[in-house]
Structure 1
């Protein structure tokens, strides 16, 4: 994505620009770290939440300029930046769970417990990366529970032995009775920004993406 000759907070004529509408799922913590690393002020971004059941709906409806994605969804109408960061892998479990007190776990151990199946319109290819159908040693991961919202997921984790393979950044948003335990034998996920293909974002939005890409290479 080309870098325009504009400032993030003011346009070429010196007029104030509206904040970049940045789509996030769950916590804004990871996205805010990416914005800060790119050298853009907090006030230059407005965070727009999206759900995993319909991840690209707000982007396609024009309610956000760009969104945070993990892995490339390979959607024909979605363009993706170069990686702007990485998110370590983790398993989410209730505080009562046998894995809850561990400093780190193997995905082979995680396969002992039931996980979540692909939600709604979420790309199945990406879900297979988030919650692989099998461990590296070939053990099946039982994806049986419905995934709807973070609140519903947390309620289920808090009351059963279910688990959810996810990302360490969720530690900033889950309730206290849900534990986020790092998984040491799954590689971290690349994190990128995505936007609608064929509709060039405004100059200050392109600037944020370009600056985040450069920051990730430092």
Structure 2
């Protein structure tokens, strides 16, 4: 870990985009040697994930899995986020300690929301299991509250990430680990052709250095 944590009095604010749980964001902020008061967290809409970074409202954003956007650059992998499924609290899988992705082919899952890149969604919610069973990605929603409502009602499951345990709480839902999918690599992304200010560059490079230790 860094020897010294920079406080709000020492450095300008980094505008950091995230989605869902703040746990992964906090992990990256620690890697960057920052006090959380030096970082302004902004939750981006998963239905239009790159709008804020492209509009200049964010300096960097957290992305999970690999992205292939010509106008964006990504850091080295900083951490990982294990896989999990979000189910309703009354779902048959809700009391399990872990599940296999093969079992999840028995239930309705979600199609990509909004303009979320299909190639990334294929990593989040694979179209098929390793054994070749199709995942039923037939539920379409425009908002996260709508997704949560369907999950809580037992009408669909969401194949996702373990960090969502911070935001998907009982009584409506449960987060169950998936033991046979690899974790998602987590990186930072920023605009390729924009000026990266020194304090933002320091945030990125320090996080990369600490992650490689």
TM norm structure 1: 0.91
Shift of 1:145: 0.9
Alpha-carbon displacement from aligned partner over 1:10-37 (angstroms, at most 9, x marks no partner): 8xxxx85431000011121210121113
Picking from 189, 194, 197, the partner of 1:202 is 197
- Using the alignment, how far apart are the partners of 1:178 and 1:148 within structure 2? 19
Matches within 5 A, 1:1-218: 17-176=11-170, 177-218=172-213
SS in 2 for 1:212: helix
Alpha-carbon separation, structure 2, partners of 1:122 and 1:154:
18
Deviations 1:58-95 (A, max 9, x none): 11111100000012210110111000100000000000
TM-score (norm 2): 0.93
Name the Cα RMSD after superposition. Answer: 1.6
Cα deviation, residue 8, structure 1? 5.2
Q: May I ask how many residue pairs the two structures share in their alignment?
A: 208
Q: Which runs of 4+ in 1 moved over 4 A?
A: 7-10
Task: Measure the CA separation in 1 of the matches of 2:115 and 2:72.
Answer: 14
Residue by residue over 1:163-183, the C-alpha shift from the partner in whole angstroms, topping out at 9 and shown as x without a partner, is: 010000011011322111000
Shift of 1:44: 1.0
Runs of 5+ consecutive residues of structure 2 not aligned to the other structure: none
Gaps of 5+ in 1: 1-6
Partners of 2:131 and 2:76 lie apart in 1 by: 31
CA drift of 1:40 comes to: 1.1
* Equivalent residues of 1:93, 1:161 under 8 A apart: no
What do residues 31-63 of structure 1 show as CA deviations (whole Å, max 9, x unaligned)?
Answer: 012111332111110001111110000111111
Give the Cα–Cα distance (whole angstroms) in 2 for the partners of residues 135 and 57 of structure 1.
Answer: 31
- Measured after TM superposition, the shift of residue 9 of structure 1 is 5.0
Equivalent residue of 1:144, what SS? strand
